[in-house]
Amino acid sequence: MILGIIEHDRGKIAEASLEMLTLARGLSQQIGAAVHAVLIGREIQALAASLKAYGVTRAHLVQDERFRDFAPEAWTKSLVQLIGSVRPQVVTAAGTDRGNELLARVAASLGVGMAANCTEVRPGASFGVTRLRWGGSLLEEAELLNEPKLFTVAPHAVAAQSSPAREFVTEEFRPSLEEKDFRVRVVRRIESEKTGVSLPEAKVVVGGGRGVGSAEGFRILEELAQLLGGAVGGTRVATNNGWRPHADQIGQTGTQIAPDLYIACGISGAIQHMVGLKGTKRILAINKDPEAPIFSRADYGVIGDLHEIVPALIEEITKVKAR
């Protein structure tokens, strides 16, 4: 059996978990095993039911009165107890911050290896995986030796596809936890002020790099993004120079984005930035250097100074929209 750890927040299942289930379903057909899901937290019954559509035949609902927000050690211990009870061959999660953390903790508890951010798994005499290295600018083929097999699925590696299971049941699992298991927990959450669409969810993202030149230079990018209902991001150069807040960094040490269109302004195309664009459908690059590596990775290119082109573009779009 394959056990998939489902990530959810305020009544919504993470898209990355549905992608993970899609990959798990493919694996289940190869090894002839069922896909089970595990959810931790409160009010998870209805969420669990929605997983039938993704081929899950059984959902384990881990419940304890003390579960409120994330408590990594209590969650880990619960998962380890569930694994001991239902004995899966494979345990998998989404390759998100939380998924990677939880599975690493489970791996440490079980004393087994774990492969983070896999794009492919190959069961057989040996269990092969292909995983992202260097934030995705390199792939590694590796073998996972011990049992059970633990891996996370890289976000955007497979598209989430539904395929309803014939049967579906939920089962409650009550872990045996002590107070000590809650020594690390979220004691409160701070909500950010809502300022438009967030980077990971935006359909259009306008990104700026070294060529933008200053915090002031980002104004026109913001204006363009606003016109297109999008969000603004930057390269590591832009955030390290303080031109943008760090949370706006796109790339290996920042956010992964997946818009329909990414407009890259004054961005050279360093790998550390490009790996943040894995899920991006189309890239339009504006750069004055025709030799910039970004042009070999973009769909559309405009050669020229963004400080001239972007204001002219804003003016034209405003006119078109006014018609």
d(Cα 108, Cα 112) in Å, to the nearest integer? 7
Site string for another protein, 74-113 (x = CB under 8 A): -----------------------x--xx--xx-xxx--xx
Query: Is position 143 an interface residue for another protein (rule: CB under 8 A)?
Result: yes
Binding another protein (rule: CB under 8 A), the pick from 46, 125, 320, 322 is 320
Nearer to another protein, 26 or 301 (CB): 301
Paired with 129 in beta bridges are: 121, 142
Separation of alpha carbons 105 and 298, rounded Å: 38
Are 227 and 196 spatial neighbours (Cβ–Cβ below 8 Å)?
A: no
Interface residue with another protein, options 9, 171, 172, 289 (CB under 8 A): 9
Size of the site for another protein (CB under 8 A): 93
Site string for another protein, 293-312 (x = CB under 8 A): x-xxxxxxxxxxx--xx--x
Tell me if 89 sits within 8 A of 148, measured CB to CB: yes
Residue of the chain from 69, 171, 172, 289 that contacts another protein (CB under 8 A): 69
Return all residues near 26 (Cβ < 8 A) that are at least 6 apart: 158
Residue 268 near another protein by CB under 8 A: yes
A 10 A CB-CB count for 10 gives 5
Helix/strand/coil for 183: coil
From 55-63, 83-91, 169-177, 241-249, give the range in contact with another protein by CB under 8 A. Answer: 241-249
Binders in 37-56 for another protein, by CB under 8 A = none
**Residue 321 is a binding residue for another protein (CB under 8 A):** yes
Among 66, 68, 174, 282, binds another protein (CB under 8 A): 282
Between residue 169 and residue 208, which ones bind another protein under the rule CB under 8 A?
183-192, 198, 200, 203-204
Residue 85 Cα distances to 111, 114, 174, 208, angstroms: 17, 20, 11, 51
Strands 115-122 and 127-133 come out as: antiparallel
Q: Which of 34, 53, 86, 139 is the binder for another protein (CB under 8 A)? A: 139
CA 211 vs CA 208, 225, 285: distances in Å:
7, 17, 12
Query: Using CB under 8 A, which residues numbered 208 to 237 contact another protein?
Result: 227-228, 236
